[in-house]
Structure 1
């Protein structure tokens, strides 16, 4: 087995039980987190006029999407705080705290008054809770990826690491399903009056479910070894910026590609189909749930491929694929008269995103030594998410508004794919290597 730069050939015994528990807890946690965070995106069409009333429906929609993006602005701060906590005091505590905070903040959105009853305080409260939720979310996915990687044998890190993006992406499918059920079971008036609150309120019991999944987590053998050897650093943020700045930039660039393309499929497409192409909202929510769910089923296979072929090769396939398919997919959506045809090209788009997300997360953890791993992954990933994740639906909507072309968001997808390819230049393969120490 080859070693990563800076790694030490230390025999490590990985417990199959710990590996399975880490994958389950990480996957369930990211599922809940991304359900909490994405349900807002699926309800943006309904929320927009309730919190941002305007005679211009597009302006109202852009305001709602700007609030969606605002939740990402504070994610790096959350990543820094929870990364410090995880690198200094253990992986377990922040993994519990982040998902609990995210669930409470998103659940409370279901109790908010609308603009009609509270005036300007309604959108203000909406922004506050989105910011608080974003702060908590900033420490979740990096922590889950770190925990799974440190609990898994190198040869299986890609497969078990796929549970992190599986959970995050499936969270969108669950959100779409819940919104679809509520939308189908209520009239348009009822959905506007009270139905939109139900998906948010469900965040509270889901947070309890995640606490159950994570209640007995132990710290990883990697962290215990780092703690016992006295290698922990007092300020992991300063340490990672001083010793691993290129790795942070690589993670950020790859995160721009994965999130910039992913959020087009996960959030923007549903808004586009309802708002621009005028498909029935209930039909779109079910379509999104089905497509995202099917795409998730390909993720374990992508993880196996990344273990066998290497992280870089699978990432390059996904990135090059977007350069080829982004424009045709949106062109077909725009021209198609059948929701079935739309679903087929939508599924193709999301499968390519699986080829980006799955190898990316284990690769992120393989770029940093244990004493700064949580902080490095969280910092780089969240900075990339700010640049191209939460902003993607807003940018796509703005591009269509300014250019008049429904296919213009394809150029955004192609642009972030190029950023991802550039980020891979000069990077050595990290699959099947010991984690750096």
Structure 2
């Protein structure tokens, strides 16, 4: 197989029309949008809900507690990935993706109606954790599944430009979530926001879920060209037969997730909590910086189809490693406009790295274990370097007193990602058919 997207269509595969491929891409992207809208909301309102669910005399201790729940919700994601990978690889991609989008949306809406500590006492943070774990379980099968069906539907030579729909969805989810929080924080008084206004963006997730569900109901037969597994458990087959692919995909994912979650989740917390910028403009800056990355992704997708996805991924990793530290310096100058520039400089790299990752990873596995392999690698890397990123970065700043210390976390994950790319570079060529 190849990850460079220029091979002939494998024998026995039905060629889809351009309209069908676009529908698959859009439905996959919309699903990942609702997933990351839900997860991003929690991160963006963390400074608001921390004292509501984890009251403490030390505001940083409250924030760390609410971020710990953020991280724990990611621990369950590999379990969801394994379960929905089994469903997708044995019984069909459509069935798995319909369930995940409903589960994510309902769990997100539930957060908007949870009682706070003042009302329910210790039960409040317990319920918050339960709902977040449920959300993580369903989310574990979403983004890997979306990347899988898009990779299978996209024609040779155009894998990356269609593969870009997945990260466009995830990042636009971050942008919409940030904008939603920016609206309520800008319209409502601080007391109203802290009392009930923070719930509104979570409740808005319900109609978004309905839209995603309907989009997927109208999909063409996404299992048409897929050779589903007939026997055994796909996780066992993936671990036994493709351990090298799982390790490489996970290592690349660590590079992606570590850098991405610092940019998409931590920096907004950092600008408010550590640099004391006002909440509302920070949320809008976050939405704007993320949207810049989304707008660039169709172009980086086309670039990846021309020069190879691994090269584009390397550009993104090197960019993160080189730019993030100077960007932190710019953010600390006390000027919100300059801080926004630093934020955008960080997020531009996401357009390169995520498009490459979501194009490459599904191509490492054959049909029978592709959903499982992609979901497992994606979710394990998220657990290691994604969901933990805001907590680790906040802890680093608190422990060291160095406002730039989160950079070292980013640099470490980038090195791991580059090692994975080098390992893949040696093995794959441009001569064999993709997605056999």
Same fold (TM over 0.5): yes
Contact 2:3/2:308 (<8 A) preserved? no
Contact 2:316/2:349 (<8 A) preserved? yes
Candidates 344, 348, 351, aligned match of 2:348: 351
* Cα distance in 1 between the residues matched to 2:253 and 2:93: 22
Aligned match of 2:298 = 300
* Cα distance in 2 between the residues matched to 1:143 and 1:331: 38
Aligned match of 1:156 = 158
Aligned match of 2:11 = 10
Contact 1:91/1:219 (<8 A) preserved? no
* Cα distance in 1 between the residues matched to 2:378 and 2:431: 22
Aligned match of 1:289 = 287
CA deviation after TM superposition for structure 1 residue 204, in Å: 1.0
CA deviation after TM superposition for structure 1 residue 148, in Å: 0.6
Quickly say closer, same or farther: Cα 1:2–1:400, change in 2 above 3 A.
closer
Contact 1:33/1:137 (<8 A) preserved? yes
CA deviation after TM superposition for structure 1 residue 63, in Å: 0.3
Aligned match of 1:377 = 374
Aligned match of 1:234 = 232
What TM-score, normalized by structure 1, do the two folds share? 0.95
Candidates 322, 327, 330, aligned match of 1:329: 327
Q: Helix, strand or coil: the match of 1:154?
A: coil
Aligned match of 1:312 = 310
* Cα distance in 2 between the residues matched to 1:319 and 1:398: 24
Residues 240-259 of structure 1, C-alpha deviations (whole Å, 9 max, x = no match): 10110011111111111111
Q: Structure 2: where are the runs of 5+ without partners?
A: none
The number of residues matched between the two structures is 432
* Cα distance in 2 between the residues matched to 1:148 and 1:39: 26
CA deviation after TM superposition for structure 1 residue 435, in Å: 3.2
Candidates 346, 362, 366, aligned match of 2:363: 366
Quickly say closer, same or farther: Cα 1:171–1:350, change in 2 above 3 A.
same
Contact 2:112/2:200 (<8 A) preserved? yes
CA deviation after TM superposition for structure 1 residue 330, in Å: 0.9
Contact 2:297/2:352 (<8 A) preserved? yes
Contact 1:151/1:220 (<8 A) preserved? yes
* Cα distance in 2 between the residues matched to 1:431 and 1:267: 36
Aligned match of 2:52 = 50
Candidates 194, 211, 214, aligned match of 2:213: 211
Aligned match of 1:278 = 276
CA deviation after TM superposition for structure 1 residue 431, in Å: 7.0
* Cα distance in 2 between the residues matched to 1:184 and 1:213: 31
CA deviation after TM superposition for structure 1 residue 429, in Å: 4.3
Contact 2:266/2:390 (<8 A) preserved? yes
Q: Helix, strand or coil: the match of 2:27?
A: helix
Quickly say closer, same or farther: Cα 1:401–1:347, change in 2 above 3 A.
same
Aligned match of 1:95 = 97
CA deviation after TM superposition for structure 1 residue 311, in Å: 1.1
Residues 325-350 of structure 1, C-alpha deviations (whole Å, 9 max, x = no match): 1211112212x222111111111100
Quickly say closer, same or farther: Cα 1:134–1:221, change in 2 above 3 A.
closer
Contact 2:2/2:430 (<8 A) preserved? no
CA deviation after TM superposition for structure 1 residue 430, in Å: 6.6
Aligned match of 2:88 = 86
Residues 126-148 of structure 1, C-alpha deviations (whole Å, 9 max, x = no match): 00000000000000001000111
Aligned match of 1:19 = 21
Quickly say closer, same or farther: Cα 1:183–1:127, change in 2 above 3 A.
same
Contact 2:50/2:65 (<8 A) preserved? yes
Quickly say closer, same or farther: Cα 1:223–1:240, change in 2 above 3 A.
farther
Q: Helix, strand or coil: the match of 1:17?
A: helix
* Cα distance in 2 between the residues matched to 1:2 and 1:57: 50
Q: Which moved more, 1:38-47 or 1:322-331?
A: 322-331
Candidates 61, 64, 67, aligned match of 1:62: 64
Candidates 382, 386, 391, aligned match of 2:383: 386
* Cα distance in 2 between the residues matched to 1:99 and 1:431: 35
What TM-score, normalized by structure 2, do the two folds share? 0.96
Aligned match of 1:262 = 260
CA deviation after TM superposition for structure 1 residue 9, in Å: 4.0
* Cα distance in 2 between the residues matched to 1:303 and 1:188: 41
Runs of 4+ in 1 over 4 A off after TM superposition: 1-4, 221-224, 429-433
